[in-house]
Amino acid sequence: MSDTVKNTGLFALVAVLIIWTGYAESWNLALQILNMGLISAIMALGVNLQWGFAGLFNVGVMGFVAVGGLAAVLFSMPPVPEAFWAGGPRALGSLVVGAGVIVAAVMVMKKMAAGRKRNLLVVAVLVGGFFLFRALFDPAVDAIEAVNSASTGYMGGLGLPVILAWPLGGVLAAGVAWVIGKTALGLRSDYLAIATLGIAEIIIAVMKNEDWLARGVKNVTGIPRPFITPREIDLQKDPGFVETVTNLGLDPVTASSLYVKLSYTLLFSVVLIILFILAQRALKSPWGRMMRAIRDNEVAAMAMGKNVTKRHLQIFVLGSAICGLAGAMMTTLDGQLTPGTYQPLRFTFLIWVMVIVGGSGSNLGAILGGFLIYFFWIRVEQWGPDLMYFITSGMADDSPLKMHLIDSAAHMRLLTMGLILLLVLRFSPRGLIPEK
């Protein structure tokens, strides 16, 4: 069986699974799985770039996804002028001061000769700078949050079209990745893992607490939609639309929701296809070959005159940017930013399962893994309780064990994902579509 046949077969299998869901359950659910599958595939492409191409172990995917989501708010939400003029310039100014303090400390570190005098001066700059920063920053934040805190309480965004916010989300994530990469990439491989794990938690903590930025746990809702996506309610009011779908034998409410989901599918597919073509070209280019050479033997690549740290930084930033882009797309699809829902198991480790199962180093594999694992992630949640009902069908209905088992069956999906990861790593470490 040739590779093409096998790969086509695998993707056909995913298509059958999704269509079967639509047929047996509901087309809304099927399209929802398809849309999130597209986003998952993009995230998996980003992680595959880092791990499959360059062997970088990034366990902070969640952080970059969240930064992308934040960008969707910051760039596309309408501005809140009163809040901005109440404290915006001051808050931004003090952020600049804060950055200046760090730059000053780094300058002192680099310019002065090593010794106690330098260390003391660096500490003095940092401590003094911290208090200066807080003295400027805190009143500004209070002023912003005081403006109509129930409905806004933040500065709002720039009011750009949301499609523009997607690449900007990538840029923002790339900036964060650059800072992390600059500090952590020179270190050992598993230190990068720990550093990224930590930074992801910190990004979520910042998003939950800095209400002036994006309302924190109060959530931002009503994120604008892309230009081709109308609101369901408008479609249902549109006589032309209602007539068309009624002629097709559909009820207008369901049809409007399907129409909206399909328009997202279209947009996401375009993004995925562009990224896939780019990633494929990168893999086959001299640059991609160099990356894989570095991955397989760093010492040899260094001896050939390749700047390993620089290349690592480059691909780390690129991969994180793709995750940020996917994060912005996901927040747009949800229509809201809810920092409380970012969980490392869902947004970091699940993406890793996708990459490993699909086949690390293969772009097609990452995409397949994205669809397949997301499908199982959603479906196992439902199959778990079903299976439990079946297993416990012999027990008395009020038995506490039966009730407990059925209640906890939803947690089966974590177990299943772990099991899938371990089985693939053990018996098919190269994944479903191996790297060539």
Helical pair 363-391 and 27-48, crossing angle rounded to 10 deg: 130
DSSP 3-state of 337: strand
> According to CB under 8 A, which residues from 337 to 356 bind another protein?
344-345, 349, 352-353, 356
| 52 DSSP assignment | I
Residue 189 touches another protein, criterion: CB under 8 A: yes
Residue 98 touches another protein, criterion: CB under 8 A: no
DSSP 3-state of 221: strand
Nearer to another protein, 97 or 164 (CB): 97
What are the phi and psi torsion angles at 99 (to 5°)? -65, -40
Q: Rounded to the nearest whole angstrom, what is the least distance from the CB of residue 268 to another protein in the complex?
A: 27
Residue 418 touches another protein, criterion: CB under 8 A: yes
Q: Rounded to the nearest whole angstrom, what is the least distance from the CB of residue 370 to another protein in the complex?
A: 17
User: Which of 184, 317, 318, 329 forms a contact with another protein (CB under 8 A)?
Assistant: 184
| 113 DSSP assignment | P
Q: Is 56 in contact with 192 (CB distance < 8 Å)?
A: yes
Torsion sign over Cα 96, 100, 106, 107: positive
> According to CB under 8 A, which residues from 116 to 155 bind another protein?
130, 138
Nearer to another protein, 250 or 293 (CB): 293
DSSP 3-state of 431: coil
Closest CA to 338 of 424, 217, 173, 423: 217
User: Which of 41, 245, 372, 417 forms a contact with another protein (CB under 8 A)?
Assistant: 417
Structure tokens at 65: 């996804």
Q: Which stretch binds another protein (CB under 8 A): 71-79, 146-154, 181-189, 332-340?
A: 181-189
Q: Rounded to the nearest whole angstrom, what is the least distance from the CB of residue 194 to another protein in the complex?
A: 5
Q: Rounded to the nearest whole angstrom, what is the least distance from the CB of residue 57 to another protein in the complex?
A: 6
d(CA 328, CA 335): 10
d(CA 201, CA 247): 51
What are the phi and psi torsion angles at 293 (to 5°)? -65, -40
Nearer to another protein, 310 or 426 (CB): 426
Nearer to another protein, 128 or 159 (CB): 128
Which residues bind to another protein, rule: CB under 8 A?
Answer: 55, 57, 59, 130, 138, 183-184, 187-191, 193-195, 197-199, 201-202, 205, 208-209, 344-345, 349, 352-353, 356, 407-409, 411-419, 421-422, 425-426
